[in-house]
């Protein structure tokens, strides 16, 4: 079956409507925190938010050396700009590390306006999930669900957050959550699906004016992790600028109508918003573009009682 080309145009690279230099997408005055920001997609997301004039960008990673290198590159590229860059070592799989991170931010009087959940655990890879040790399986869920949940909870409960201040929570998910079959990647795909489902449910609980929540598939990119498994010519890789710039668009009022939904960065945002059938389904079907059971529509509790 072909890829999920919901709009006539299927982008492989960035385009004007999601450009971080577009005035309506400005991040001026905002502090942005990016997990997994030391390299790959996370690093490119940091670059895009800098282009969007974010006041402060905080990149998080487990590896101190990678963080130091990324921080130096960002400061060099955007020297002379007003954006301040901060690097902080933290492990999303460790509750104490996540808690310590938010305590540090509070001690520095830093209020985060935009949280980009990009860090992920793609291991272990195994052809037979039931032959795995439970501890191995839960490593993926510990980061991709538990760590991301704790980051999100601390984000919305920041003591420095003024009453009524809208926040933006962006979940960098994966197309693997609806790839069937997907050999060797069951822990990764199911843990990412679980958290994307959780984000959709949380969006049901919290209005978009409180915290705007969007999950998206960033595409296939020749990252360090991909290079360890695939040859560069194995895929028709997407450009890093696509998910990076899409993140800026998703963290803006322009994307508010997709609150709680899962989309692909490849879909043209103008065509998406101009499609009357898509708009109708977003309005009438609470389960549309959310994690659920393929082939079945979402239903309400009231429907059971009827």
Q: For residue 274, give every residue at least 6 positions away whose Cβ sits within 8 Å of its Cβ, in sequence order, or none.
A: none
CA atoms within 13 A on the CB side of 48: 29
Tokens describing residue 130: 């039931």
Check: CB of residue 290 under 8 Å from CB of residue 260. yes
Q: Is the dihedral of CA 77, 83, 88, 93 positive or negative?
A: negative
d(CA 139, CA 146): 10
User: Residue 128 is encoded by which pair of tokens?
Assistant: 């037979």
For residue 225, give Cα distances in angstroms to 56, 120, 142, 228: 28, 11, 19, 5
Contacts for 290-297: CB closer than 8 Å, 24+ residues apart? 290/197, 290/200, 290/260, 290/261, 290/262, 291/177, 291/193, 291/196, 291/197, 291/200, 291/262, 292/197, 294/178
Beta strands (DSSP E) in 62-174 are 84-89, 114-117, 167-172
In the chain, what's the furthest Cα-to-Cα distance? 63
Among all residues, which ones are annotated catalytic?
Answer: 173, 188, 192
What's the burial of 293, exposed, middle or buried (CB within 10 Å: 0-12/13-18/19+)? exposed
Pinpoint the alpha helices (H) of 251-298: 269-274, 276-284
């Amino acid at each position: 079956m072909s890829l999920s080309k919901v709009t006539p145009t299927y982008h492989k690279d960035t385009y004007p409507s999601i450009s971080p230099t577009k005035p309506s997408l400005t991040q001026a005055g905002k502090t942005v925190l990016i997990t997994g920001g030391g390299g790959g997609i996370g690093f490119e997301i940091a670059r895009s938010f800098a282009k969007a004039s974010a006041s402060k960008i905080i990149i998080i990673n487990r590896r101190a050396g990678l963080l130091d290198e990324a921080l130096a590159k960002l400061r060099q590229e955007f020297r002379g700009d007003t954006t301040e860059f901060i690097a902080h070592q933290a492990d999303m799989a460790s509750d104490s590390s996540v808690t310590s991170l938010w305590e540090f931010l509070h001690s520095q009087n830093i209020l985060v306006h935009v949280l980009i959940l990009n860090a992920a655990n793609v291991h272990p890879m195994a052809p037979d999930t039931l032959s795995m040790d439970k501890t191995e399986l839960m490593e993926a869920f510990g980061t991709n669900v538990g760590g991301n949940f704790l980051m999100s909870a601390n984000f919305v409960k920041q003591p420095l957050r003024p009453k009524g201040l809208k926040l933006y929570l962006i979940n960098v998910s994966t197309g693997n959550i609806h790839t069937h079959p997907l050999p060797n990647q069951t822990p990764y795909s199911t843990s990412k699906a679980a958290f994307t489902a959780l984000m959709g449910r949380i969006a049901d609980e919290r209005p978009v004016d409180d915290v705007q929540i969007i999950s998206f598939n960033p595409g296939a990119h020749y990252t360090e992790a991909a290079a360890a498994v695939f040859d560069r010519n194995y895929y028709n890789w997407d450009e890093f600028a696509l998910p990076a710039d899409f993140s800026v668009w998703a963290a803006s009022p322009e994307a508010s109508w997709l609150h709680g939904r899962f989309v692909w960065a490849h879909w043209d945002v103008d065509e998406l918003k101009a499609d009357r059938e898509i708009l109708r389904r977003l309005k009438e079907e609470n389960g549309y573009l959310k994690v659920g059971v393929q082939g079945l529509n979402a239903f309400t509790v009231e429907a059971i009682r009827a």
